[in-house]
């Protein structure tokens, strides 16, 4: 399929831009290749797009990025500089790239202002936030169901742009269940569990009752939630528990969440996601540089979909959500 739009694809500035942007994966044996490809989004990534029918990509800073910066003022400064860098790169390739803003959730008011600047002045399409935010203490973890983040949701609703919740590992003190099994870190397992739990907290914490128009994107065909959401609701009710939310969690999943295919190129997983959330809320993505546009496109172009649904997932759902011409 030609004309695909992708939206979980990552860049990094040059290595000397700011050492705080070093990805956790720098410990991995194959990290040098990922790092090279991430810095080369604008040429290596663009060639992969051209070779695989990807017309437009919404680019974001690789995880954990601004969310790991402990000082709020430093986080704001880094977010602004990174967003300006990304805007310059997008401007050099008009029509091929848009941006997701990095925003400093350490200071929700500042995050809302930076989102507004990025959307109104830089033309960005929303933001990508890399999981929970650390603040002052390296062992801290702030999750976005907390009421203090309401200014961020107010800004998203006002600007009518989505919030992309991207994975990161749990903080080190909360990873004892992975001890001795490092292959479960990161995108193999820990990322998905962390992001699914964060999403459930937002659903159950009443965020979408306060902001019913807020739209959230998660990747990897839903971080296992399409297959789990029914049981979560069922066991909450069966156990006699209740949440602060007014409706079952599946209601918010179907009305406030969108999923991408990033890094999960599997037919049955996509069929299940469509059955649970609907074809109008799923969008194509690869997860560059950790995945290849080629593998993503080869799978998607042959996936068991009607051509009408392939067009929706590959292009028109993103056009509608992001108001792309």
Can you give the pLDDT at residue 42?
86
Tell me the two tokens of residue 162: 């989505």
Helix or strand run (H / E) with residue 272: helix 267-277
Structure-model confidence comparison of residues 102 and 172, the more confident one: 102
Return the structure tokens found at 189: 């397992």
Q: 319 pLDDT exceeds 90?
A: yes
Tokens 């933001």 identify what position? 127
287 part of the active site: yes
Indicate if the pLDDT at residue 41 is higher than 80: yes
The two most distant CA atoms of the chain are separated, in Å, by 57
**CA 65, CA 102: separation in Å to the nearest integer?**
8
HSE at residue 87, side-chain half, CA atoms within 13 A, is 18
Selection from 315, 291, 221, 288 nearest residue 8 by Cα? 288
Residue 196 pLDDT:
97
In this prediction, residues 25-34 reach a mean pLDDT of 59
* pLDDT given for residue 26 in this prediction: 47
- Among 74, 287, 292, 301, the active-site one is 287
Question: pLDDT by residue (tens digit) across 44-88?
Answer: 899 999 999 999 999 999 878 899 999 999 999 999 999 999 999
Q: What is the pLDDT of residue 14?
A: 75
pLDDT bin (cut points 50, 70, 90) of residue 16 is: low
Q: What is the pLDDT of residues 262-292, one digit of tens each?
A: 999 999 999 999 999 999 999 999 999 989 9
What is the C-alpha to C-alpha distance for residues 152 and 318, in angstroms, rounded to an integer?
22
Asked if pLDDT for residue 148 goes beyond 80, the answer is: yes
Taking phi first (over 0 means left), then psi (-120 to 50 degrees means alpha), and beta for anything else, what does residue 65 get?
left
Say which CATH class 4-322 falls into: alpha beta
Position 191 scores a pLDDT of 92
Which has the closest alpha carbon to 258: 278, 231, 275? 278
CA terminus-to-terminus distance, the chain:
18
pLDDT of amino acid 32: 66
Q: What is the pLDDT of residue 30?
A: 62
> What is the pairing mode between strands 127-130 and 163-166?
parallel
Per residue in 2-11, pLDDT tens?
Answer: 999 999 999 9
Closest to 166 in 3D by CA, of 216, 116, 210 = 216
pLDDT at 219: 97
Task: Report the alpha-carbon distance of residue 233 to residue 236 in Å, rounded.
Answer: 5
- Contact assessment for residue 113 and residue 150, using Cβ atoms and an 8 Å cutoff: no
What percent of the chain shows pLDDT beyond 70? 94
CA distance 38 to 1: 25
For the segment 189-195, the average pLDDT, to the nearest whole number, is 93
Task: Indicate whether 23 pLDDT > 80.
Answer: no
Distance (Å, whole) CA 15 – CA 93: 22
Within 8 A by CB and 6+ apart from 74, the residues are 20
pLDDT for position 183:
87
- Mean predicted confidence (pLDDT) in 202-229: 97
Instruction: Locate the domains of the chain by residue range.
Output: 4-322
- What is the pLDDT, as a whole number, of residue 297? 98
Mean pLDDT of 91-99: 94
Of 1, 14, 131, whose CA–CA distance to 66 is shortest?
131
Query: What is the reported pLDDT for 37?
Result: 78
């Amino acid at each position: 399929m030609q004309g695909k739009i992708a939206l979980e694809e990552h860049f990094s500035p040059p290595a000397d831009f700011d050492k705080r942007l070093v990805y956790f994966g720098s410990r991995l044996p194959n990290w040098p290749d990922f790092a090279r490809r991430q810095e080369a989004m604008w040429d290596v990534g663009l060639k992969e797009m051209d070779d695989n029918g990807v017309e437009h990509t919404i680019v974001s800073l690789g995880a954990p990025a601004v969310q790991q910066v402990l000082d709020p003022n430093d986080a704001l400064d880094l977010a602004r500089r990174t967003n300006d860098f990304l805007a310059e790169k997008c401007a050099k390739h008009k029509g091929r790239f848009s941006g997701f803003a990095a925003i400093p959730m350490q200071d929700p008011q500042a995050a809302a202002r930076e989102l507004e600047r990025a959307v109104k002045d830089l033309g960005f399409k929303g933001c990508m936030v890399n999981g929970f935010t650390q603040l002052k203490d390296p062992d801290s973890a702030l999750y976005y169901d907390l009421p203090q983040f309401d200014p961020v949701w107010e800004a998203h609703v006002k600007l009518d742009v989505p919030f992309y919740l991207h994975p990161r590992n749990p903080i080190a003190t909360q990873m004892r269940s992975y001890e001795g099994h490092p292959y479960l870190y990161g995108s193999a397992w820990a990322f998905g569990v962390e992001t699914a739990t964060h999403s459930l907290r937002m659903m159950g914490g009443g965020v979408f009752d306060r902001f019913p128009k807020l739209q959230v994107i998660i990747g990897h065909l839903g971080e296992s939630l399409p297959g789990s959401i029914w049981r979560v609701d069922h066991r909450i009710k069966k156990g006699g528990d209740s949440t602060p939310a007014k409706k079952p969690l599946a209601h918010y999943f179907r009305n406030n969440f969108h999923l991408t295919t990033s890094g999960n190129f599997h037919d049955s997983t996509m069929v299940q996601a469509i059955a649970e959330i609907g074809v109008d809320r799923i969008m194509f993505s690869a997860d560059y540089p950790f995945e290849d546009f080629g593998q993503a496109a080869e799978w998607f172009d042959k996936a068991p979909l009607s051509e009408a649904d392939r067009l929706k997932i590959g292009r028109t759902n993103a056009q509608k959500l992001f108001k792309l011409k």
